[in-house]
Structure 1
Amino acid sequence: MTSPGSPSETRSLIIERLVGDSGEAAHVIGAGRGMAERAVPLLQKSLAGELGAPVTVDLRAVEVSRVPDARAYAGDTFAMTIVASPTSSDAMTLVIDAPAIAVMVCALFGGDPDLAVSPIERELSQIETDVATTVFQEVAQALNGSGRRSLELRLPVQRAMSGAEAKRRVLRDGAAVRMVFGISTPTDSGTVTVMIPQRILLATRGGAAGANDDQTTGSDWRARLSEEVMRSTVTLKATMPLARLTLGDLASLEVGQIIEFEETAQSQARLSARDKTLFVCEFGKLGQNYTVRVRHPYDAGQDFIDGLMPG
């Protein structure tokens, strides 16, 4: 085994091993570009369909970088989240700048795409942070992949952080591939920056992959594990909305006081498993047993919009 020729080379090698392996730049950029280019049409479709946002998504840059540089070009106002995987607590870091958030908020609420969007030069509101979280979810889903090449991200993503919390968050240093996606309308544009540590990228894209890897792996997984997966059990929970109360009403509640259900509560029960809502159901009773009848699949996008504009 050979050793580095100088103390600086030894130090660099030790630091690199501690904070993450790096690969040959051309190979890393090529693997990252291939991943990003496959994600662009998926992201374009998801934003246009699920969010109803008439925006254009394009790939601006793919380059080698360091994970802490994720916030370097986002300006003073931005939102950020970190996505974990089974092998890493920081498998992906996502940052969206204020112009991109403004574009998405405007498009989501029906703003005129031919008019300039008002810039955001303040702390993000709860609605703007929720919109950023939704964009992060779509970006992570598009980049996650499947089969042997999957990043195995733990989705859904955590709620985006912003302001002082996002600026103070310590990011573990390490070699990374930096992908920059543009989100734009005819008059405005912003960016979403994605940082994936090279140790994560090289683990799934390190070798030469054939054109049919995803297809072959998918068939292999279905053949070996599908039956076992279908036998696994989950705990179902049915919840029903109670009522909307002001903080003052809540503070004045007393023991024995009765709270009425809203008129539509019986038809708005939610069926969930592992903290993920699956169906909207109708609450009822059959003989001596309480029941829920499935009405339709839960639509997270519609529920998000309904929550922003109640009534």
Structure 2
Amino acid sequence: MSAAASPAEMRAFIVERLVGDTGEPDQVAAAARALAERAVPAIVAGLGESLGVPVSVEVADVALIRMAQARPGVTNHAMTIAASTSSPDALVLAIDNDAVAVVVSLLFGGDAGEPAAPIARDLSPLEIEVATSVFEQIARAVNGSGPRAFEFKLPVPMAMTGQDMARHLLRDGPAVRVVFSLATAASRGTVALTMPQRVLLKHRGDAGMPAGDGTGPDWRQRFSEEVMRSAVSLEATMPLARLTLGEIAALEPGQVIELDEAAQTSARLTARNKTLFVCEFGKLGQNYTVRIRHPYDAGQDFIDGLMPG
């Protein structure tokens, strides 16, 4: 969130950092399942048209997770991240090696009644393209149309795998994951869809919720107002210069420590041990101040820490 954000986006960002989950768990899970079940027929149709043979697609699991858990832990899986008008990481899609094997086999005329040859090595460039094609079909099916569309930026980026995928940083936050099973008569694999809860609820917050259950717009608005009235303590800290352990051990009372040149413009504003903004330290009359520069980006801060100076 280094770009300028609207007041509504800034409010959602701060609440997400401080509160954690952005939605009531049952509501989020119901909305995700309803979205997935509506997308299944379109996914089946798209894959069937591409492969020339029918493929079974079912919703295998829906779970609330953290966004950082969306990345596969196995290097011969593949992943892509689709942005939308409301989020740079609105949709994370991951496919396992078994599902890639199924699609590759069918794409090149394999018998759907015979098991697909397993892929125990890293994915080849051709298999990465196949994975990207599957991601594209799923993203289009999930995107929808009309005023409730997620507005993903399509086509999706080329899938990443191996070390490129392992090194990729994902912004953390509350998310929901839907696992689709992709199967033929003899083989089966999985494709996982992960989406930030705030993105899902923005477009599908009313999905799967029966009328009159106490979770309508009025109830959510009153609950949000109560949350926003909660008082939290803000703390501003300024970084000192980098010192070696030996230099720190040699410090004595009365010794003056020189501030780093960028310290004044790198103050951090935190609440409940969560960093919210990068600020500039200053003074207005007799009072010290901090001026907000931009929202804190944990991923960028990690990268900056790897390349000091």
Superposed pair shares fold, TM > 0.5: yes
C-alpha deviation, 1:202, in angstroms: 1.1
1:73-121 residue CA offsets vs partner (Å, 9 max, x unmatched): x634101000001111100000000000000000111101122211111
Over 3 Å off, 4+ runs:
13-16, 18-21, 207-211
1:259-311 residue CA offsets vs partner (Å, 9 max, x unmatched): xxxxxxxxxxxxxxxxxxxxxxxxxxxxxxxxxxxxxxxxxxxxxxxxxxxxx
In structure 1, what is the Cα distance between the partners aligned to 2:107 and 2:18?
43
Cα 1:209–1:75 shift into 2, 3 Å = closer
> Would you say 1:173 and 2:180 are equivalent positions?
no
Which residues in structure 2 correspond to 1:153-192 (within 5 Å)? Answer: 153-192=152-191
In structure 2, what is the Cα distance between the partners aligned to 1:198 and 1:70?
13
Report if the CA contact (8 A) 2:83-2:89 is conserved.
Answer: yes
In structure 2, what is the Cα distance between the partners aligned to 1:192 and 1:75?
14
Greater mean alpha carbon deviation, residues 16-25 or residues 179-188: 16-25
In structure 2, what is the Cα distance between the partners aligned to 1:207 and 1:102?
37
1:141-185 residue CA offsets vs partner (Å, 9 max, x unmatched): 000011222111001101111110011111111111100011111
Cα 1:52–1:26 shift into 2, 3 Å = same
> Would you say 1:132 and 2:131 are equivalent positions?
yes
C-alpha deviation, 1:37, in angstroms: 0.2
Cα 1:154–1:76 shift into 2, 3 Å = same
Percent identity over the alignment?
Answer: 48
Cα 1:19–1:187 shift into 2, 3 Å = farther
**Aligned equivalent of 1:115:** 114
**Aligned equivalent of 1:24:** 24
Structure 2: runs of 5+ lacking an equivalent:
1-12, 211-309
> Would you say 1:50 and 2:53 are equivalent positions?
no
Cα 1:55–1:101 shift into 2, 3 Å = same
Cα 1:17–1:60 shift into 2, 3 Å = same
Report if the CA contact (8 A) 1:20-1:199 is conserved.
Answer: no
**Aligned equivalent of 1:98:** 97
Larger RCO (CA under 8 A, 6+ residues apart): 2
Which residues in structure 2 correspond to 1:1-311 (within 5 Å)? Answer: 16-17=16-17, 22-72=22-72, 75-207=74-206
Counterpart residue identity of residue 59, structure 2: L
Greater mean alpha carbon deviation, residues 195-204 or residues 14-23: 14-23
C-alpha deviation, 1:17, in angstroms: 2.2
Counterpart residue identity of residue 34, structure 2: G
C-alpha deviation, 1:70, in angstroms: 1.6
1:28-47 residue CA offsets vs partner (Å, 9 max, x unmatched): 01100110000001100110
Report if the CA contact (8 A) 2:90-2:196 is conserved.
Answer: yes
Counterpart residue identity of residue 155, structure 1: L
In structure 1, what is the Cα distance between the partners aligned to 2:207 and 2:54?
37
Cα 1:20–1:141 shift into 2, 3 Å = farther
C-alpha deviation, 1:19, in angstroms: 9.4
**Aligned equivalent of 1:300:** none
Cα 1:19–1:128 shift into 2, 3 Å = farther
1:187-229 residue CA offsets vs partner (Å, 9 max, x unmatched): 1100000001001011112347999xxxxxxxxxxxxxxxxxx
Cα 1:43–1:161 shift into 2, 3 Å = same
Report if the CA contact (8 A) 1:53-1:104 is conserved.
Answer: no
Q: How many residues align structurally?
A: 198
In structure 2, what is the Cα distance between the partners aligned to 1:91 and 1:192?
16
In structure 1, what is the Cα distance between the partners aligned to 2:99 and 2:19?
31
RMSD, aligned α-carbons: 2.3
SS at match of 1:110: coil
Structure 1: runs of 5+ lacking an equivalent:
1-12, 212-311
In structure 1, what is the Cα distance between the partners aligned to 2:161 and 2:181?
20
Report if the CA contact (8 A) 2:29-2:64 is conserved.
Answer: yes
